[in-house]
Structure 1
Amino acid sequence: MSARKSHPISTRLASVLVVSLATMGILAHAQQTAPRSATAQRPQLVVGIFVEGLSADYINLLRDNFGKDGFNRFIRDGVSIENVDFGPGIDATAATAMLMTGAAPGVNGIPAARVWDNNTKSDYPILLDPAKIGNFTDETFSPGALKVSTVSDEVRISDGGLGLVHSVAPDAQVAIILAGHAGNSGFWLNDTNGKWCTSTFYRDVPAAIAKRNYGVTLASRLDTLAWTPSMALDRYPDLPDYKKLYPFRHTFPARETDRFKAFKTSAPGNREVAAIGLDYITSLKLGTRGVTDMLNLGFNVSPYQYGREADNRIETMDAYL
């Protein structure tokens, strides 16, 4: 998604309009204009990339540091939707639901990540579903509160259920909305044990997840993992001189109770999601099976809140890179 600097996209909503909304248009156009047998005109693999905190200002600032693909490819070859008004500010859960359904919160049933219960006088996660059981987590979620179909659901319906739809995201409710009602799987990272977890609402546990939960686990790798700048400090634009003197270094030791929460909002956390996505594509042979498959991935470039300094501009730029 690209936008003029004078009309920045809401950071809560700037996820993947480039893929999500464009995909809706591609699928609708293919279904309306192509014969059912003309599978060559249908996408074989749709990859939705949803980036929490994405800012057009940072993309413009860092554009010279990007390669010819990635953001620059979206800017060059993608669809740009400008002067879009989404109404009042909404959080990532509601924003994802709007993008996946094309409907406002009053229609799709997802106004926010947490909602108020007048009976108990307390708030609760919008996708809470006590009737379900969590796998690798005690959280109980399902897409039951999502009142309308999503683009993920339509992908599965379009091929009579033969297409595969999977999602991976750090946040539970975002992962579930990305998987939709008909998804094969939706996985998120457990804040307590570092396992990739899901709900019994979904049936599949891809091998890419199983090997990370039973083999080389994140908990076993995190002690030796560090997030440091990916390039020399003087190459980061618009920094005061004092910020160019000392590179940051963030670690995730076992003694830190919030280490998995911190990891989920870091650049290494984004790399983990990307690596799982690549494993999904290869191990499940997505996009090679003669039907349309869909893989939705959630990332986060919001300001890093677990460092010692309030000024986290370098970390934010590094997350984009």
Structure 2
Amino acid sequence: MRLLFLACLCFSVIFQTNGQNKNIPPQRPKLVVGIVVDQMRIDYLYRYWNKFENNGFKKLVNEGAFYKNAHLNYIFTQTGCGHATIFTGAEPSVHGIVSNYWYLRSKKQKLYCCEDKNVTPVGSDTKKGNRSPVNMLASTVGDELRVSTLMKGKVIGVSLKDRAAILPAGHTANAAYWYDSDSGNMITSSHYMKQLPKWVLDFNAKKLADVYLDRLWTPLLPIEQYTESLPDSNKFEYGFGNGQSVFPYDLAFISKKDKTSRNYEVLMDTPFGNTLTKDFAIATIMNEELGKDDIPDMLTVSFSSTDYMGHRYNPYSVEMEDVYLRLDKEIAHLIEFIETEVGKENVVIFLTADHGSSQHPDYMKSIKYPQGKFNPSYSMTLLKSYLNAVYGQGEWVMEYIDGQIYLNHNLIEDSKLSLKEVQEKTADFMIQFNGIANAMSAYSMVNTPFSDGIFKFMQNSFNQERSGDVFINLRPGWVEESSIYMVNHNTPYSYDTNVPLIFYGWKIPRQTVYQKVNITSIAPSISFMLNISTPNGCTSNILTNLFN
């Protein structure tokens, strides 16, 4: 009897020990999931807090490390720049993604940040597949993970936007998948593979884009409960551009081109674009068996619909509140799936944003808030006339792109003029325009050491090979005029730079951090968790609070 008792006791101890070991975090996480919410202002987190469920944003904040004062540290806050910065740990001046587009003087044309004519589409026959990370000059966390594991660790990027899938995953990624708005399918390019895996073909065969576009988009809650927003019917929204900017939205009708074809771009401007992204992220984890062995894997997931909608609607619109309440549920579903499949102790999840956004200038004007609109076309016309008057007739200005003025270097050289002089005269002329707070020449950015402030932000965005000759910065609250955007970003002000930053899972301590940090610290921190080298262009330190 005594022997039987001892045997049962030993079995009980062994069983309890094995059960406990299952919840002990490994030396390094088995899976890293980097979530980026495109154009997420940090105040959205606070504004909608009481309506979020417990297992989405609230779970990340309450059980993770929440950095309330995380910022971008450069001026041109755009999608390409933001995603590259988050995952390289470097500023645009180093990683080279200085804007979504920049100007190639040698070819006299714009270049898209992920454009690559040397690759071909996979899963599509449109130019939307001629994409790769070839224009990014630095490595990402994913690249370093691949190198350190002898290419055994898997790295995959997922998003509706190609740049939001490609740039985070890096150069050596197993795959990056993005949305083809011509077909409603997820596609990739020959940079990664020759043909889509069977599981991606099966996913596309479900025609989920059609399923979501056959819906009537109505508010998640009764309309009277959207107390954090303006009335649904207001004049500060663009909507779908067809005169409709109030609920309900008949997506089947709005997306209908004709009797036989559909405009799949519509999905991107609805909360269901985020749903499709989450569905594909879950399918990726399942079919690629991410986090299933001791070799770490990485998945990057960028939710883009918040950006597409953010440009069309006022940040105080019912539609924006609705997309975040729905995104909260998508994130809750994704977390639940990951914890079930991989285990909370085995995964690090971090969530941040690539940039914030402005307020709607017309709305802010109605409440007497400082704001304004800058007309770049008008200012460039006057600038060209001025330079013609000073230096004679000529094509002195080659291009203007999102706050950057590109001058004609060949003409300036042929005219035996000083490039510095023409740059400085251009900057001095531009500062006279109403709404422009700062104008700086490339010469000044190269030769003047700034330590902080707006001018340092300009330098962090400046790459000598790719950037313009003159940078302009608008006053706080000002945006460039646009026929399609109601709201924009691309400034160094807090409404654009202050973004959420949350780490969750594995050995992450539960805490709220108030000190100011830069998003360039994300990549080295993840690298330290994985015991790998930091990305080769990384300029920042780790977030030491995560390792206390």
Measured against the shorter chain, the TM-score band is 0.7 to 0.9
Instruction: Tell me the matched-pair count.
Output: 281
Contact 1:206–1:280 (Cα < 8 Å) also in 2 = no
Q: Distance in 1 between matches of 2:301 and 2:165?
A: 8
Where do 1:16-165 residues align within 5 Å? 40-76=26-62, 77-80=64-67, 82=69, 84-135=71-122, 136-139=124-127, 140-165=130-155
2:256 is aligned to: 254
**In 1: Cα distance, 2:300 partner to 2:187 partner:** 16
Rounded to whole Å, the distance in 2 between the matches of 1:134 and 1:228 is: 36
Query: Are positions 1:283 and 2:287 aligned together?
Result: yes
Contact (CA 8 Å) 2:115, 2:131: kept in 1 or not?
Answer: yes
Structure 1 CA distance, aligned partners of 2:169 and 2:314?
35
Tell whether 2:323 aligns with 1:319: yes
TM-superposed deviation, 1:143? 1.0
1:184 aligns with 2:174: yes
- Give the Cα–Cα distance (whole angstroms) in 2 for the partners of residues 137 and 281 of structure 1: 27
Q: Tell me whether 1:227 sits opposite 2:213 in the alignment.
A: no
SS at match of 1:43: coil
1:157 alignment partner AA: V
Measured after TM superposition, the shift of residue 218 of structure 1 is 4.2
For the 8 Å contact 1:170–1:264, the answer to whether it is kept is yes
Shift of 1:81: 5.3
Letter in 1 for 2:96: G
Give 1:206 deviation, angstroms.
Answer: 4.2
| Residues 229, 321 of structure 2: 8 Å contact kept | no
Distance 1:177 1:241 in 2: 38
Task: In structure 1, give the amino acid aligned to 2:186.
Answer: W
Does 1 or 2 have the higher relative contact order (CA < 8 Å, sep 6+)?
Answer: 2
| Structure with bigger gyration radius | 2
The CA deviation at 1:302 is 2.8
TM-score by structure 2 length?
Answer: 0.47
Q: Name the CA distance, whole Å, in 1 between partners of 2:79 and 2:311.
A: 19
Q: Which consecutive residues of structure 1, in runs of 5 or more, have no partner in the other structure?
A: 1-37
Q: What residue number does 1:197 align with?
A: 187
Give, as a single letter, the amino acid of the residue that structure 2 aligns with 1:317. Answer: E
Change (3 A) 1:250 1:55: farther
Q: Give 1:56 shift.
A: 1.1
Q: What is the distance in 2 between the residues matched to 1:194 and 1:241?
A: 32
Code of the aligned partner of 1:96: H
**Cα distance in structure 2, aligned partners of 1:43 and 1:250:** 44
SS in 2 for 1:298: strand
Task: Report the Cα distance in structure 1 between the residues aligned to 2:285 and 2:136, rounded to whole angstroms.
Answer: 27
Q: Which moved more, 1:247-256 or 1:88-97?
A: 247-256
Residue 179 of structure 1 and its aligned partner are, at CA, apart by 1.8
Distance 1:153 1:258, change over 3 A: farther
Query: Aligned equivalents of 1:200 and 1:267: distance in 2?
Result: 30
Structure 2 contact 157–299 (Cα < 8 Å) conserved: yes
Distance 1:107 1:242 in 2: 43
Which one has a larger percent strand, Structure 1 or Structure 2? Answer: 2
Amino acid aligned to 2:221: M
Q: Which amino acid aligns with 1:276?
A: F
Whether contact under 8 Å (1:186, 1:198) holds in the other structure is yes
The answer to whether the 8 A contact 2:32-2:297 is kept is yes
CA RMSD in angstroms comes to: 2.8
State the percentage of identical aligned residues.
Answer: 24
Q: Partners of 1:90 and 1:235 in 2: how far apart?
A: 33
Give the Cα–Cα distance (whole angstroms) in 2 for the partners of residues 131 and 81 of structure 1. Answer: 42
Summarize deviations over 1:64-95 as a string: whole Å, max 9, x none: 11122321123222240516351213210111
